[in-house]
């Protein structure tokens, strides 16, 4: 979508009932996909209120109707389970606020699809794991999330992004982008392209395990970055899992792995000084224990054994995706400077290389949790 969200945000603001006058809407957060705004209201009798208004990415999501059907189904399910366990539904699970017309989302005059959520207050959204305790808390939350969705009817979920974590398909798309080289950028990426080609066989490890029935399909989040969980400001525990756009049948090892990719290091995803980009094995160990604790024994030995592969493949795949997007002209991931997607790709491949260096240690860490 080439239309800036600012062009139609007034239409979106008029489409929802905020329960009080709106005093402003500002761009918010550090997501790469949707256009996210924080809307402030001023009720007469209380202090100001906040909401999260998002225009869903048209580049990423072709069917916002199906996407919102998934999200409403999943948030209702989570809400029910949280209430049954005596939890606070309004803080522990997202809740969709429908527009005045009663639909699941609002479509503006340019075709943009907008949705609204309450702002989950008294939480912090971290961009990096500042302590092992914090990272572990996010792991418990993602493990628990997966467990709570363990009995969700998976067949009712739409595939919001087809072949999302199909690493073989991501590799195929990279090769196509290299062959087309429509912007003449492939030459400067030769080292990165070769890095991927040297790991072509790796791209099939998790998919083969799934095809052969060694690991199961589960309902998973599929985008388990640290900044997709809101941490309780008081207790530091993982309070609410957000960014539910990609909740679909998937692999538990990918949910584990994507968190490691983003969180088990001390650098930004677009760091340009690669000497600063290193896997932190202590953080890996802390997250492993916590994720398995949150999942409460639901993972099989075969899944546990493949957890290091989940980490390596999510990191390799994400690097492949950043590289592909750089080659085709930054169509998918939002960028704030030229070359940012190539920088992001380079950090991912540095982490993959570092995982390879520490491979035996990673296998030993997960090995402690095997039941058999
Ligand atoms: P994207 O898919 O672009 O990453 P997200 O749904 O993750 O979009 O939202 C982007 C950011 O907005 C999050 O990382 C978080 O900081 C913030 N955010 C999203 N939803 C909420 C919410 N309900 N309450 C508070 N902050 C939120
Ligand atoms: C995107 O939506 P966000 O910013 O939380 C992307 C993930 C990538 C991640 C890389 C729907 O996550 O798959 O791993 O960027 N989400 C989608 O930072 O493509
Ligand atoms: Mg996000």
Three-class HEC string of 208-245: HHHHCCCCCCEEECCCCCHHHEEEECCCCCEEEECCHH
Alpha helices in the chain (DSSP H): 9-15, 64-84, 89-92, 132-148, 167-180, 190-197, 205-211, 252-263, 281-295, 301-305, 307-328, 340-357, 359-367
258: left (phi over 0), alpha (psi -120 to 50) or beta: alpha
Q: Whose CA is nearest to atom 4 of ligand 1?
A: 31
Can you give the pLDDT at residue 118? Answer: 97
Rounded Cα gap, residues 211 and 209, in angstroms: 6
| Ligand 3 midpoint to CA 78 (Å) | 19
229 Cα–ligand 2 center, Å: 13
Residue 319 alpha carbon to ligand 1 centre in Å: 22
Res 210: pLDDT: 98
Ligand 2 atom closest to the Cα of residue 314 is 14
Sign of torsion over alpha carbons 314, 319, 320, 321: positive
Distance, CA 335 to ligand 3 centroid (Å)?
14
Tokens of 274: 């690669």
pTM over 0.95: yes
Q: Give the closest residue to 56 by CA, choosing from 67, 45, 47.
A: 67
Query: 257 Cβ partners below 8 Å, 6+ apart?
Result: 307, 309, 310, 311, 312, 313, 314, 315
In this prediction, residue 203 has a pLDDT band, given cuts at 50, 70 and 90, of very high
End-to-end CA distance of the chain: 51
Q: In the predicted model, is pLDDT for residue 1 greater than 60?
A: no
Q: Which of 25, 284, 325 is nearest to 182 (CA)?
A: 325
259 within 8 A of 143, measured Cβ to Cβ: no
320 lines ligand 2 (CB under 6 A): no
Which ligand 2 atom is at minimum distance from the Cα of 322? Answer: 10
CA of 264 to the centre of ligand 1 (A): 21
Three-class SS of residue 41?
strand
Q: Give the pLDDT band of residue 47 (cuts 50, 70, 90).
A: confident
Residue 134 confidence (pLDDT): 97
* Percent above pLDDT 70 for the chain: 100
Q: Tell me the mean pLDDT in the region 115-139.
A: 96
The Cα 145–Cα 261 span in angstroms is 19
pLDDT at 268: 97
Q: Is the pLDDT of residue 29 over 70?
A: yes
Atom 26, ligand 1: which residue's CA is nearest?
Answer: 119
214 CA distance to ligand 3 middle (Å):
30
Look-up of token digits 């995982």: 355
Distance 29 CA to ligand 2 centre (A): 13
**Best mutation site among 28, 30, 33, 313 for ligand 2 pocket (most ligand atoms within 8 Å of CB):** 33
Per-residue pLDDT at 52: 98
Please name the residues in contact with 297: beta carbons below 8 A apart, sequence gap of 6 or more. Answer: 371
Q: Please tell me the residue having the least CA distance from ligand 2 atom 18.
A: 32
Ligand nearest to the CA of 29: 1
Atom of ligand 2 nearest to the CA of 225: 5
Calculate how far, in angstroms, residue 230's C-alpha sits from the geometric centre of ligand 1. Answer: 9
Give SS3 for 337.
Answer: coil
Q: Does residue 325 have its Cβ closer than 6 Å to ligand 2?
A: no
**Could you tell me which of 112, 137, 115 has the C-alpha nearest to residue 126?**
137
Q: Which residue of 64, 224, 230 sits with most ligand 1 atoms within 8 Å of its CB, as the best mutation to test the pocket?
A: 230
Structure tokens at 91: 């803080």
Q: Closest ligand to 127 CA?
A: 1
pLDDT of amino acid 371: 85
Tens-digit pLDDT profile for residues 308-365: 999 999 999 999 999 999 999 999 999 999 999 999 999 999 999 999 999 999 999 9
Determine how β-strand 22-27 pairs with β-strand 106-107: unpaired
In this structure, the residues whose C-beta lies within 6 A of any atom of ligand 1 are: 28-34, 36, 52, 94, 117, 119-120, 125, 227-228, 230, 242-243, 245
Distance CA 97, CA 72 (A): 10
pLDDT at 297: 87
Q: How far, in Å, is the centroid of ligand 1 from the Cα of 359?
A: 33
- In a 3-state reduction of DSSP, which class is residue 55? strand
Per-residue pLDDT, averaged over 147-168, amounts to 96
318 lines ligand 2 (CB under 6 A): yes
b/e per residue 203-236 (b: at least 16 CB within 10 A):
bebbbebbeeeebeebbbbbbbbbbbbbbbeeee
CB 280 within 8 A of CB 265: yes
Residue 142 above 60 pLDDT?
yes
Residues in the chain: 372
């Amino acid at each position: 979508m080439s239309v800036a969200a600012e062009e139609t945000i007034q239409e979106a603001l008029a489409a929802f009932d905020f329960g009080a006058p709106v005093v402003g809407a500002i761009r918010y957060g550090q997501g790469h996909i949707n256009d996210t705004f924080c809307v402030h209201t001023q009720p007469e009798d209380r202090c100001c209120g906040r909401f999260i208004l998002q225009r869903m990415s048209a580049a990423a999501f072709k069917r916002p109707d199906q996407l919102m059907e998934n999200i409403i189904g999943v948030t209702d399910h989570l809400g029910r389970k949280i209430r049954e366990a005596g939890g606070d539904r309004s803080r522990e699970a997202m809740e969709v606020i429908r527009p005045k017309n009663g639909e699941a989302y609002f479509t503006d005059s340019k075709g943009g699809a907008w949705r609204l959520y309450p702002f989950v207050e008294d939480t912090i959204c971290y961009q990096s794991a500042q302590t092992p305790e914090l990272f572990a808390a996010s792991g418990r939350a993602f493990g628990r999330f997966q467990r709570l969705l363990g009995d969700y009817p998976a067949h009712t979920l739409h595939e919001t992004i087809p072949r999302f974590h199909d690493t073989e398909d991501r590799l195929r798309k990279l090769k196509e982008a290299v062959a087309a080289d429509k912007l003449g950028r492939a030459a400067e990426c030769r080292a990165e392209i070769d890095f991927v080609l040297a790991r072509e066989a790796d791209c099939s490890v998790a998919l083969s395990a799934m095809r052969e029935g060694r690991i199961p399909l589960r309902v998973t989040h599929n985008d388990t970055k640290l900044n997709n969980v809101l941490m309780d400001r008081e207790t530091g525990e993982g309070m609410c899992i957000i960014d539910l756009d990609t909740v679909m049948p998937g692999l538990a090892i990918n949910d584990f792995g994507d968190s490691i990719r983003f969180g088990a290091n001390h650098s930004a995803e677009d760091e340009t000084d690669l000497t600063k980009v290193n896997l932190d094995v202590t953080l890996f160990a802390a997250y492993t224990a916590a994720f398995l604790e949150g999942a409460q024994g639901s993972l099989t030995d075969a899944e546990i054994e493949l957890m290091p592969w989940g980490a390596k493949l999510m990191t390799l795949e994400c690097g492949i995706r950043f590289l592909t997007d750089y080659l085709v002209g930054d169509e998918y991931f939002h960028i704030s400077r030229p070359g940012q997607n190539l920088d992001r790709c380079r950090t991912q491949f540095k982490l993959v290389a570092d995982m390879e260096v520490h491979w035996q240690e990673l296998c030993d860490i997960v090995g402690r949790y095997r039941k058999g």
